[in-house]
Structure 1
Amino acid sequence: MRSISLCLCAGLLVSGAVPAYAASCDLTDFAPTEGLSAKATADGIDVEWEGDDHQKLRLVLSVDNTGKPKIDSLSLWNGGWVQAVENAEPEFFVTTGLRRMSNQQIQPLRDLGVPIDQAALDTYRWDSFWDAPLDLGKKGKRRAFAGNPPPAAGIPGTDQPGLPRSPSEVETAKARYVPMACKATRDGRQLAIDLVGVQMAHFAGKLRFTVYHGTNLVRQEVLARTGNRWLAYKFSAGLVLPRNADAQVDWRDTGGMWQTDRFGGTGNANDMPLAARNRTAAFSNGKASLAFFPEPHKFFWAREIAINVGYQWLRNSGETLGFGIRQHDKEDDSEDPANWALYSARPGTVQRMALFLYPSLLTGKETVQAALAFTHNDTYKPLPGFKVLNHHYHTDLGERAMATGSDNLRLPDVVALKATGINIVSMVDSLAMGPAPAPQPTVSPAPGVAAPAPAPVAWRMPDQLSVIVAAYDAAAAQSDSDFAVWPNQEIYGSPFGGHTDVLFSHKVLWRYKGTTSTAKVSGKVYEVGSAPDLLAMAKAENAIFSMPHPRTKGSTGFPDAIASREYFLDPIFSGTGMRWGMGLDGSEQRLCEFRCWPLLDDMSNWMVRAGAPLKRLISISEVRHLAPGDDIYGSQPVTYIKLDRVPTDGNFAPVINALQNKEVFWTTGEVLARNLTITPQGKNLKIGADVEWTFPLAFVEVHYGNGKVTFTKQVKATSFPANSSHSFEIVIPAKDARWVRFSAWDIASNGAVIQPLKTGR
C-alpha cells in the first residue's frame, strides 16, 4: 500500500522529466480576451478578469525558490485593489485506505451462480456502498446490518483481505509541493494556471487555480493520479494565512442561525470541524470577504443519512489562521460505522480534489448568500409546466405511522424535503417476498467456485397489509396543495432479481402468498408469490416497476442478468433508479459516470435490439430518515416531470403517465435541460435541447447507439458565462443513431440528463 507509482504521475506533472523550477509562468497557450488578461511575473503570474456584474478581480500567484506556492493576493476593484486574502498558502491533506467489495454486493452475484473470484472483484469492487476503509473497529462491534459490510474472512484466492482492517492500510499525508514549470492555458472563458507539482501519499500531480470570466468564482484544486490498486481516499483543502486582527468567519449553523468565529480563543494547531448549513462559510478581513465551499454534490459519497458531520474547518495556531473544507473520518455516531465509503481512485485516472473560493466586497454573511446562488439556495428552481419529484426515500412511512398509532404525525422528513422545493416525494416501505438468503453469506471455498446457496430463512418484516394501509393514511395527512407524499414500496427478495421498486397509481393491497395479516381491510387483496403474480397485479392496477441502485448493493449483477427476460422487456418495467455515490470516483466529470450512464446506454441498446420501448431513469435518494438541518440538497438528484398540478386525491396515475413522457429529465439542480428535438438533415440528425445553468458550464453531449455500440458527440461549453442559458444543437450521423440521449455538465460535475429517445430509424 505504501509504494507510489510515479510512472503514471509524471505525465500529469509535466511532459517528460520534471524540470528545474522555472519562476515565471509560461503564457504560450494563453490568448487574452476582453475581460480576461494575464501577465507573467518574476516568480509567478498576475491575472485580472471581470466577474459578476462587471466586478473587476485580480489573482496574483507566486512560487518561492523551494517550489512553495502562495496566493500573494486575491483582490476586488473598488476605486483601488481591495484584498480578500493575501499571503495565503494553499493546503491539502489526503487520507487513504483500501477499497473492499461488500457482502451486500456478493450475495446477488452468488444467487446468480457467479464465481466470487478476482474477475468478479475487478468488475464490481469499485461500486461498494457498505465499505468503510478507515474503520479499524474490531469484529463484533457493529451495531446493525451485520451482513452487509465486506466479508470478515476476506475472499480467498483474490487480493481482498479480511477484517478488521490493519492500521497499515490507512495513511494521512499533507501535500508536498515540488518544482514544476508554471503554465497558463485559456479554454473559452476559463483560465487554468498549473502552478506547481504535488506529491501526497500515494498521489502525484499538480496544483491548479482556475478563474472564470463572468463570475467571481475561483477553483483551487489538486489534480493527481495514483498507480495503486483499490485505493480509497478522502481529502481536505484550504488556505493558511497570517493572523489578521479583523479576521472572522461567518456561517449559518444547521439550525439556520448565523454564527461568527473571530479567531479570538486560545491558539490550537488542530483543525476545528465546522457544521455549516449549505456547506458554505465566508472568511472576512474587515475589507472584503471570501466564501469557501466544496462541489455541492460530488463531495459526497452515498450514505444512509444526510446528517451534517462538519464539512468546513477552522484553525487558529497563534501566528497563522486557516479555513477550508473537509470530510469526517467516520459516519455520525447514530449510524453503523461500517458505512463510510470514501472516494475511489482507479489507477491512472486524474483525481480532482477541489475547493471553490468566491471573493466579494460584501460582508461575510452577504457573501455566503451570494455564493448560494449557484445552488438556488439549495432549492430546486420551479419551471412552468413541470413538477419536481424524487423517489426512494427509505422513511418507512407505514411502519413509523403504525409505531405512533396515528396517521396525523408530522414527519421531520417531510418538513425538511418540502423546504427544498420538491413537489412529489416518493417514500418507500421495505416489503419482502418469501424466503431469502441468510444475511451473512460465507465466501467461496476456492477461487472460481461458487459457494452453495445458504439455507433460506424467513424475512422478519412487519405485517405487509398493515404497513400499506398505514402508509397511505399517513401520506394523505402529510400532503398539501402543491406537495404530495407518494407511498410506494421496495421489494427485497424480488422474483425479478435484485431489488424492485413498485410505484403505484393508487392504493393497492397485496401480501406475499401464504402470509397472514391482522389488518382490517376491505376490497381486493392480491396474493403474490411469483414474478407472473407481481406482473399481473401491476398491469391490473396501473403500477410500474423500477430497479433501484442497479449494478451495486442488492442489485449487483442486475439488470444485466434479466436483460432478455420478458418481464424486463415489458414497458411496465420502467427502468432504473439513479444516484451517484455508490462507487464515487474522484475523477468523474459526470456524476456516476462509471456505473449509471453506461447502464442507461446499455439498456437503450438492449431495447432497440429487442424492439421494445426504451427504459427510463428516475432519480433516487437512498437516504432513510431526514430532518431540518440535514444536507439534503447535497445528497440527492431530482427528476423534473411534465405535470400541471400535484395530485391531491391519492390518484397518482398522472405521475405514472408523466414519468413515461419524453419531457422528463434527471438533474442535480444546478443544470436544467429540456425540450429535446430530433431533426433529420440528410445523412445526419440535428439534436437540440434548451439548457440553463449556474456554475460555469463544461460541456454538452449526445450519446447515441445502433443497438450494439454506443457513440458520443461532445461539444465544449466553456465559451458561455456562468448563470446563463442556451439552445444547443449537435449534429450526429444518422446511420448509427437508433436512439439518442442528451446531457449537460458543469465544472463541478453537476448535470442534467434528458430521457433517451428513439429516432425512428
Structure 2
Amino acid sequence: MRTKLLKVCAMCFLLNLICERESFPGGLECDLTQYRAKPGISAIQEAGVLTVTWEGERNSQVRLRFGVQAGLPTVQELAIQAKGSPWNVLGRNLTPVFSVTTGIRRTGHDLPEEHRWDVFWDAPLQHPEEVRQYTAKIQSSGCKVRSEGRRVEVFFPGMSLGIFSGGLQYTVYQGSNLIRQEAVVKTEEPSVAYIYSGGLKGFSSSDLKEVVWQDIGGNWQNYEFYGTPNRDPVPVRAKNRVLLASGTTASLAVFPPPHQFFFARELEINLGYVWYQKESSQGSSHQFALGVRQHPTEEGYNDTWIKRVYALYNAPPGTWQRMSLYFYANLGTAREGRNAVLAYTHEDRYKQLPGYKTMVTHFHTAFADELTKAGSLDAGAP
C-alpha cells in the first residue's frame, strides 16, 4: 500500500513539474545577431525573457520585458523610472490586438485599371457584399532583435491577419519615451483597400486607475472603469487624437502616427481615432485595453462626399503594410504626458520658420454653404 502511495505521489510531482513548465510565461528565444549594444539602450535575453531598457526624456528610463504565453508574444512588463528611483509599472502581461476591415479598390477618374491605386474618389466599404473583417492571430516562439541607429526593433514572426500575413514589431528609441507597436504584413490579393485597429490589452486599474482625454472642444474628460465591461471598444473623439491612462505617479498615452495614419478625405470630421475597452473586473481591480482605430464610415455635411470619398489605405499585392500605433510612457500627470506627446507634432501646427509663410493648397466652401442654410454663424462644425 505504501509503495503504491509513493508511486502516486511521484507521478503527481512529475505532473506538477510538467504543468508548471508548460504554463511558465517565458521560453522566448531571440536572434540577436543584428543587435549592437550601445550606451543608453540595451537588449538582454535571460531565462526566456527579453528585456529592453533605454534612456528616455527628462532623466527617465523605460523598460519593456517580452515573453511568450502559449505562443502569443506578451509584454510581461512595461515600466518607467526616474534614474535611481523605483520603477513605476504601467502594465503587466499585455498582449497585442489587431483587426482589419477590407474592401476592393476600384479605378476612377478615367484612369486605367493599373492606376487604380491613385484613385481619390472611391469608397470601398460602400459595397457591403465585398467587405471582410479579420482579427489577428499570432503564434511565435521567438523574435529577432535589430539595432538601427539609436533605435532597437523587436520582431515576432507568425502573424496571420485574414488575407494578410507577416509579424508583430515593437520599436523603441534612445532619448525618447515612445514605443511603436505595429503589424508588419502583406497580402497577395490583387485590389485590396483596408483600414485597421490596433492596441494592447491586459492593463489594470491597479496600475493605471482611469483614462483621460480632451474632447474636441478642449474640455478634460475621464472614465474610471466602473460599471459593466464593454462588449466592444469604445471610440473616443479626442482632441489631437491622444488618449491617456493615468496612474498615481505616471501615465501612458496612446495615439496614431501623426501623418501616415490618414488617407485623403474631403471632410475633416474627428471620427474617434483612439479607443478604450473595459474587459473585466477582479474585485476592485479592472482590466482594460487601449488602442487606435479608423472609423468604417465617413461623417460630415456633404452626402456625396460621405458616400463616395472614403478611400482607405492601398495594399498592392506583395507590399509590406505597417499598421502602426504609438505609446508614450511618462513620469508625472496625464496632462504633462499629453503635452509631451504634442511636442512631437508642435501641437498639430506647422512650426513657424523665419522668412517663410505657411500655405495650404485650397479650402472647400461647402461648410460656408451649410452655415448659410442654417442662417447663423453659430451653427458650428458638425
TM over 0.5: yes
DSSP-derived class of the 2:58 partner: helix
Which residue of structure 2 aligns with residue 101 of structure 1? Answer: 107
Which residue of structure 2 aligns with residue 325 of structure 1? Answer: 292
What aligned pairs does 1:170-569 form with structure 2 within 5 A after superposition?
A: 170-179=131-140, 181-245=142-206, 247-319=209-281, 320-332=287-299, 334-335=301-302, 336-395=306-365, 400=369
In the alignment, the residues of structure 2 paired with residue 368 and residue 291 of structure 1 have an alpha-carbon distance, to the nearest angstrom, of: 7
DSSP-derived class of the 1:270 partner: coil
Question: In the alignment, does 2:44 pair up with 1:52?
Answer: no
CA drift of 1:244 comes to: 2.0
In the alignment, the residues of structure 1 paired with residue 157 and residue 250 of structure 2 have an alpha-carbon distance, to the nearest angstrom, of: 27
2:72 to 68, 72, 88: 68
CA offset digits 1:426-446 (Å, max 9, x no partner): xxxxxxxxxxxxxxxxxxxxx
From the superposition, tell whether residues 403 and 217 of structure 1 become closer, same or farther in structure 2 (CA, over 3 Å).
closer
Q: Point out which structure has higher relative CO (alpha carbons under 8 A, 6+ apart).
A: 2
CA drift of 1:337 comes to: 2.4
CA drift of 1:23 comes to: 2.1
CA offset digits 1:593-628 (Å, max 9, x no partner): xxxxxxxxxxxxxxxxxxxxxxxxxxxxxxxxx95x
In the alignment, the residues of structure 1 paired with residue 371 and residue 251 of structure 2 have an alpha-carbon distance, to the nearest angstrom, of: 50
CA offset digits 1:57-76 (Å, max 9, x no partner): 11111112x31011111111
Question: In the alignment, does 2:123 pair up with 1:132?
Answer: yes
CA drift of 1:374 comes to: 0.5
Is the Cα–Cα contact under 8 Å of residues 68 and 141 in structure 2 kept in the other structure? no
CA offset digits 1:20-64 (Å, max 9, x no partner): x97222212111111011101333310111111332111111112
Is the Cα–Cα contact under 8 Å of residues 24 and 41 in structure 1 kept in the other structure? no
From the superposition, tell whether residues 77 and 170 of structure 1 become closer, same or farther in structure 2 (CA, over 3 Å).
same
In the alignment, the residues of structure 2 paired with residue 334 and residue 390 of structure 1 have an alpha-carbon distance, to the nearest angstrom, of: 22
Is the Cα–Cα contact under 8 Å of residues 273 and 294 in structure 2 kept in the other structure? yes
Is the Cα–Cα contact under 8 Å of residues 26 and 40 in structure 1 kept in the other structure? no
From the superposition, tell whether residues 228 and 53 of structure 1 become closer, same or farther in structure 2 (CA, over 3 Å).
same
Question: In the alignment, does 2:21 pair up with 1:29?
Answer: no
CA drift of 1:283 comes to: 1.0
Is the Cα–Cα contact under 8 Å of residues 253 and 275 in structure 1 kept in the other structure? yes
Is the Cα–Cα contact under 8 Å of residues 22 and 182 in structure 1 kept in the other structure? no
Is the Cα–Cα contact under 8 Å of residues 210 and 218 in structure 1 kept in the other structure? yes
In the alignment, the residues of structure 2 paired with residue 22 and residue 126 of structure 1 have an alpha-carbon distance, to the nearest angstrom, of: 43
What aligned pairs does 1:138-177 form with structure 2 within 5 A after superposition?
A: 165=127, 167=129, 169-177=130-138
DSSP-derived class of the 2:299 partner: coil
In the alignment, the residues of structure 1 paired with residue 71 and residue 319 of structure 2 have an alpha-carbon distance, to the nearest angstrom, of: 25
Q: Normalization by structure 1: what TM-score? A: 0.43
Is the Cα–Cα contact under 8 Å of residues 27 and 67 in structure 2 kept in the other structure? no
Which residue of structure 1 aligns with residue 18 of structure 2? Answer: none
Q: In structure 1, what residue type is equivalent to 2:196?
A: F
From the superposition, tell whether residues 240 and 166 of structure 1 become closer, same or farther in structure 2 (CA, over 3 Å).
closer
CA drift of 1:395 comes to: 2.0
From the superposition, tell whether residues 259 and 27 of structure 1 become closer, same or farther in structure 2 (CA, over 3 Å).
same
Is the Cα–Cα contact under 8 Å of residues 274 and 310 in structure 1 kept in the other structure? yes
DSSP-derived class of the 2:113 partner: helix
Structure 1: which 5+ residue stretches go unaligned?
A: 1-20, 110-119, 136-164, 413-625, 631-761
In the alignment, the residues of structure 1 paired with residue 241 and residue 214 of structure 2 have an alpha-carbon distance, to the nearest angstrom, of: 9
In the alignment, the residues of structure 1 paired with residue 372 and residue 229 of structure 2 have an alpha-carbon distance, to the nearest angstrom, of: 49
Which residue of structure 1 aligns with residue 90 of structure 2? Answer: 84
Is the Cα–Cα contact under 8 Å of residues 75 and 95 in structure 2 kept in the other structure? yes
In the alignment, the residues of structure 2 paired with residue 350 and residue 403 of structure 1 have an alpha-carbon distance, to the nearest angstrom, of: 46
From the superposition, tell whether residues 174 and 339 of structure 1 become closer, same or farther in structure 2 (CA, over 3 Å).
same
From the superposition, tell whether residues 39 and 125 of structure 1 become closer, same or farther in structure 2 (CA, over 3 Å).
same
In the alignment, the residues of structure 1 paired with residue 164 and residue 371 of structure 2 have an alpha-carbon distance, to the nearest angstrom, of: 51
CA RMSD between the two structures: 2.5
DSSP-derived class of the 2:344 partner: helix
DSSP-derived class of the 1:182 partner: strand
Q: From the CA coordinates, give the structure whose radius of gyration is larger.
A: 1
From the superposition, tell whether residues 403 and 219 of structure 1 become closer, same or farther in structure 2 (CA, over 3 Å).
closer
DSSP-derived class of the 1:310 partner: coil
Is the Cα–Cα contact under 8 Å of residues 27 and 39 in structure 1 kept in the other structure? no
CA drift of 1:261 comes to: 1.0
In the alignment, the residues of structure 1 paired with residue 343 and residue 261 of structure 2 have an alpha-carbon distance, to the nearest angstrom, of: 18
Q: In structure 2, what residue type is equivalent to 1:251?
A: W
In the alignment, the residues of structure 2 paired with residue 45 and residue 26 of structure 1 have an alpha-carbon distance, to the nearest angstrom, of: 11
In the alignment, the residues of structure 2 paired with residue 258 and residue 380 of structure 1 have an alpha-carbon distance, to the nearest angstrom, of: 24
Q: In structure 2, what residue type is equivalent to 1:300?
A: F
In the alignment, the residues of structure 2 paired with residue 189 and residue 321 of structure 1 have an alpha-carbon distance, to the nearest angstrom, of: 32
Is the Cα–Cα contact under 8 Å of residues 225 and 348 in structure 1 kept in the other structure? yes
In the alignment, the residues of structure 2 paired with residue 134 and residue 349 of structure 1 have an alpha-carbon distance, to the nearest angstrom, of: 21
DSSP-derived class of the 2:336 partner: helix
Is the Cα–Cα contact under 8 Å of residues 235 and 272 in structure 2 kept in the other structure? yes
In the alignment, the residues of structure 2 paired with residue 195 and residue 101 of structure 1 have an alpha-carbon distance, to the nearest angstrom, of: 35
CA offset digits 1:3-30 (Å, max 9, x no partner): xxxxxxxxxxxxxxxxxx9722221211
Structure 2: which 5+ residue stretches go unaligned?
A: 1-25, 282-286
Is the Cα–Cα contact under 8 Å of residues 152 and 172 in structure 2 kept in the other structure? yes
DSSP-derived class of the 1:59 partner: strand
In the alignment, the residues of structure 2 paired with residue 43 and residue 96 of structure 1 have an alpha-carbon distance, to the nearest angstrom, of: 37
In the alignment, the residues of structure 1 paired with residue 307 and residue 226 of structure 2 have an alpha-carbon distance, to the nearest angstrom, of: 34
DSSP-derived class of the 1:134 partner: helix
Is the Cα–Cα contact under 8 Å of residues 84 and 360 in structure 1 kept in the other structure? no
**How many pairs are equivalent?**
345
In the alignment, the residues of structure 2 paired with residue 396 and residue 264 of structure 1 have an alpha-carbon distance, to the nearest angstrom, of: 42
DSSP-derived class of the 1:389 partner: coil
In the alignment, the residues of structure 2 paired with residue 86 and residue 194 of structure 1 have an alpha-carbon distance, to the nearest angstrom, of: 20
Q: Normalization by structure 2: what TM-score? A: 0.84
Is the Cα–Cα contact under 8 Å of residues 251 and 337 in structure 2 kept in the other structure? yes
CA offset digits 1:477-520 (Å, max 9, x no partner): xxxxxxxxxxxxxxxxxxxxxxxxxxxxxxxxxxxxxxxxxxxx
Is the Cα–Cα contact under 8 Å of residues 83 and 287 in structure 1 kept in the other structure? no
More strand by share: 2
CA offset digits 1:401-460 (Å, max 9, x no partner): 9958x9xx9799xxxxxxxxxxxxxxxxxxxxxxxxxxxxxxxxxxxxxxxxxxxxxxxx
Q: In structure 1, what residue type is equivalent to 2:122?
A: D
DSSP-derived class of the 1:28 partner: strand
Q: In structure 2, what residue type is equivalent to 1:299?
A: F
